[in-house]
Structure 1
Amino acid sequence: MRRSDPEGHGPVRYGPALPDDGLPVLPELADVLAGAAHRAHGEPVGGGPALLDAAAGYWQRRGPAAGPERAVAAPGTHALLLALTAAVGGDVLAPRPCAAWWAPYVRLLGRPVFHVATPAECGGVPDPYALLETVRRVRAEGGDPRLLVLSVADDPTATVAPPEVLHETVEAAAGEGLHLVSDETWRDTLHEPHETVLVSPAEMLPDRVTVVGDLAGALLPSGWPAAVARFPAGDEGRELHARVLDVLTALGAQVAAPVAAAAAYALGEPRPVAARVAATARLHADVARAAHDVVVTAGALSLPPQAGRHLYVDLGPLRSALASRGVGDAQELEDFLTARLGMPAPGGHRFGDDLGELRVRLATGPLLGHTDAERARCLGSPEPSELPHVQRALINLRSVFDDLRDDAQRWEPSR
């Protein structure tokens, strides 16, 4: 029998982490954290004044202003989504695929998650017509869809939704009375920031969109959990803000005081932080392009990565070669590639795709080297994908995928 849910790999017990940047901690951030290590008192639930002021300033530099009274901080977006789901109530809709951590936190509340197909050109945002049909079907079956979670700069697909596609989806959601949660964790990791247009749903529907962002996307190391949320203006936003604070209080979801200090510093975007964010985005863009070239040359399918530190790969065209190796579903593909590549390769079933689809998310961080010195050298290189240790990692990736391509061609029927 096919091993589709092995022990320790259940949908809640196991979930792939956010793709790490693979880089040493920025020294200025480490100094701020160390300088706050003496603080014995806890950060208030929802965040202290310094952190919330910094979050408000961060958003003001990116579009619609929102004061600190409309902000909340938590130890990670997991806690924020859990609190938002509990506060809004009803059933949840999400694109297929979506971030691996979205569905488990909804299901912990006993709520169903209804996945909606995405358009061909991007992930992270449901196709508007599929969204309307899903809402109609769920209601016809007695469900109560109230919340749509989406991501303009997406994990796992690493794409950025075009504004026109987003606008149609937001209009459809508004027409159905849905509240939107826009996960903007990856908005500061655009590979071509001057050529890619990223628009937040909050700019289109300001009274029905709550924005959340995990600072591990661009500003903090992944091991320093901190995230912020911005609520809509008006009575509905104030009521939602209060209910979310109630849930976070019940959970004891407080940001650690030293991490809060580092988060406030990072959200202020001083020169060292801004320079590191820009350099990191350029680095991962270069390596992601090289990795994307490897997988598509081998015959796999993958949308060109536009943001983040990952790419999403469909190995369906190589199914025959994988079948000859005993790989028939996404769990077996995850096990196979993780072992062969020596790096995590979580299967598409972690992201809401069907188990039978042969899809994986590949991160670029593990391709940067095994030591801090190697990774730091990547950060300072104009062409990091040409460095010898990165080339070795890419050669290993190419070897695995080229072997599958060659086997698939052997299995093709003769004409």
Structure 2
Amino acid sequence: MTVTLSATLAANEDIERRRRAGERVVHLAFGEAGLPVHPALRDKLAAASGSNGYGPVAGAPALRTAAAGYWARRGLDTDPELVVCGPGSKPLLYGLIMAIGGDIVLPMPSWVSYAAQADLVGARPILVPAPPGEGGVPDPDLVAAEVRRARAEGRTVSSVLVTLPDNPTGRLATPETVGRLAQVARELDLMIISDEIYRDLVHDPSLPFTSPADVAPERTIITTGLSKSLALGGWRIGVARLPHPSAEADGHALRTKLLGVASEIWSAPAAPVQEAAAYAFDDPPELVDRIALSRRLHGVVARAVRDRFVEIGASVPVPQGGFYLYPDLSHLRLGGAADITRILLEEHGIGVLPGHAFGDDPAAARVRVAVSLLYGETPEARMASLTSADPLQLPWIAANLDHLSMGLKELSLVRHDAVREHHPALVPTPCHG
């Protein structure tokens, strides 16, 4: 097995090297939330800095209770005994894939680490496209067909993973699609892992949100964390809500397996961070307000970036959550995702990720765009972006958008010139009047 650096982390390091060398690059390749830590969270962490014991593998009781309350306020009664904490939701996802075993169904496209983690534990991912216009949830009808085909070949398929809302597309699956997938999961005895780390960053709070746990609580695991909603990526803390006991599934049995994995990999989450996270998962008003500001900023900037891609004829689904877009630049006919990504970076100073890193067709010219590093280079600038009534008018955001527009227009002109050179009859003759 060949293990390589995650595509997102590799791209981030490459772009940072280029910037240190003096290159002008608009960084749209890394899904970091790009905002300052709330002062109340800093205070909680500092106050807990003397906590230096390992603590329980499942996480501190206060954090598990706070996470249970977090889900209860979102309509999911939760037993704290069925909450497991880890150093980020990413290790929890890895531990869950290992604990459940068997092959796993993933949306296509989907976050780069899902398939990589499955490979690491010896599982084979089955990539299934989302319904047209959606993202993060594989088409339930196709899931049923693919699982039956894999099982007919002798494979063990045990789970399906969804992302609500989605990275890379920025879309939110409809309640109808989630409900149909839950039904398929029941029929085929699949566990559902629902990565809901962007749940609190749905741009329009009135948009209907359905978790698989709302309709199939007996077989749904939810993972989340604070890296996106509260910009705490470097703090590394996540929580998982395991299925509650029923005739079909036993969350306690899964808990035992997951804790066995956790005990050998991370022992326990960092104790001081757990104390700060317990405060955050209690939804105190000051953090609820901060998340609301973040949600608004991400939505405003994501839509502005989408406008720049649409101006050159790209097909871009309207973003609904998080800070991602998934433009399709196939109309330019400049090659597949790797070609477009290279041209954008090396010739136009625009850093994005190729769609094939997310399991997409390499021949398709789709790229993943993250807007959250456009908010400024300093904590002061990022705070100004967060609180501004019109962040698009701030000089640093406006400059980034202008650079993006110029680069995309230059990219489009490359295609126009190529058409004019090889097919002059297709280029209209200017009218002078």
Task: Give TM-score scaled by structure 1 length.
Answer: 0.92
| Residues 97-112 of structure 1 mapped to structure 2, 5 A cutoff | 97-112=109-124
- Could you list the per-position Cα deviations for residues 196-241 of structure 1 after superposition, in whole angstroms to 9, with x for gaps in the alignment? 1111010011111111113212135110101100111116111111
SS of the residue corresponding to residue 313 of structure 1 reads coil
Match of 1:388 among 395, 401, 411: 395
Equivalent residue, structure 2, for 1:189: 201
The worse-fitting range, judged by mean Cα deviation, of 126-135 and 37-46 is 37-46
Report the counterpart of residue 280 of structure 2 in structure 1: 266
1:222 aligns with 2:252: no
**Alpha-carbon displacement from aligned partner over 1:103-158 (angstroms, at most 9, x marks no partner):** 11111111111100111121101111211121122112221111100112111111
Match of 2:5 among 13, 22, 30: 13
**Which residue is equivalent to 1:278?**
292
CA contact (8 A) 1:219 1:267 kept: no
Look up the match of 1:132: 144
Measure how far apart 1:331 and its partner are. 3.0
Q: Say if 2:348 and 2:411, in contact at 8 Å, map to a contact too.
A: no
- Say which of 305, 317, 320 aligns to 2:319: 305
- 2:165 is equivalent to residue 173 of structure 1: no
| 1:257 paired to 2:271 | yes
Conserved 8 A contact 1:20-1:309? no
Kindly state the Cα deviation for residue 344 of structure 1 after the two structures are TM-superposed: 4.2
Q: Tell me the residue number matched to 1:210.
A: 221
* One-letter identity of the residue aligned with 1:388: P
Q: Which TM-score applies when normalising by structure 2? A: 0.88
CA contact (8 A) 1:43 1:260 kept: no
Instruction: Report the Cα distance in structure 1 between the residues aligned to 2:350 and 2:278, rounded to whole angstroms.
Output: 32
Q: Quote the residue 2:55 is aligned against.
A: 43
Structure 1 residue 332 displacement after superposition: 3.7
The residue aligned with 1:335 is 342
Percent of paired sites with the same residue: 37
For 2:322, what is the secondary structure of its paired residue?
coil
1:6 aligned residue:
none
Report how many aligned residue pairs link the two structures.
398
Q: Name the aligned partner's letter for residue 290 of structure 1.
A: A
| Distance change >3 Å, CA 97–CA 114, structure 1 → 2 | same
1:145 to 154, 157, 174: 157
* In structure 2, C-alpha distance between the alignment counterparts of 1:232 and 1:293, rounded to whole Å: 41
SS for the counterpart of 1:52 is: helix
Q: What are the superposed Cα offsets for residues 77-121 of structure 1, whole Å, 9 maximum, x if unpaired? A: 221112111211111110000111111111111111110011112
> Gapped runs of 5+ residues in structure 1?
1-9, 323-327
Q: Partner of 1:346 in structure 2?
A: 353
The equivalent residue for 2:44 is: 32
- Mapped contact 2:197–2:224 kept (Cα < 8 A): yes
Deviates more, 1:15-24 or 1:130-139: 15-24
1:242 aligns with 2:256: yes
Question: Unmatched 5+ residue regions in structure 2?
Answer: 10-29, 427-433
1:369-415, Cα deviation, whole Å (9 max, x unpaired): 22222211111111111222211110111111112223323334434
Q: 1:356 to 1:203 in 2, by over 3 A?
A: same
Between 1:282-291 and 1:334-343, the stretch displaced more is 334-343
- Residues of 2 paired with 1:295 and 1:254: CA distance? 44
Q: Which moved more, 1:219-228 or 1:279-288?
A: 219-228
2:14 alignment counterpart = none
Q: Secondary structure at the match of 1:367?
A: coil
1:245 partner SS: helix
Q: 1:409 to 1:131 in 2, by over 3 A?
A: same
> How many angstroms apart in 2 are the aligned matches of 1:376 and 1:278?
14
Secondary structure of the structure 2 residue equivalent to 1:366: coil
Query: How far 1:173 moved relative to its partner?
Result: 2.2
Shift of 1:343: 5.9
Q: Distance in 2 between matches of 1:343 and 1:35?
A: 41
Aligned counterpart, 1:3: none
CA–CA distance in 2 between the matches of 1:13 and 1:223?
18
Is the partner of 1:314 in helix, strand or coil?
A: coil
- Which whole-Å CA distance do the structure 2 matches of 1:31 and 1:336 have between them? 45
Query: 2:95 matched to 1:83?
Result: yes
TM-align CA RMSD: 1.7
User: Which is higher, the Rg of structure 1 or of structure 2?
Assistant: 2
Larger deviation: 16-25 or 137-146? 16-25
> What are the equivalent positions in structure 2 for 1:392-407 lying under 5 Å apart?
392-407=399-414
Contact 2:106 2:125 (C-alpha < 8 Å) held by counterparts: yes
Residue by residue over 1:156-189, the C-alpha shift from the partner in whole angstroms, topping out at 9 and shown as x without a partner, is 1111111112212221222111110000010000
Aligned partner of residue 217 in structure 1, secondary structure: coil
1:61 to 52, 57, 73: 73
C-alpha distance in 2 between matches for 1:299 and 1:252: 47
Q: Please name the residue that 1:411 is paired with.
A: 418
What residue identity is the alignment partner of 2:211? Answer: S
Between the aligned partners of 1:124 and 1:37, the Cα distance in structure 2 is: 38
Give CA-to-partner distance per residue, 1:338-390, whole Å, 9 cap, x none: 44565641211221112222222111122112222221111111111122221
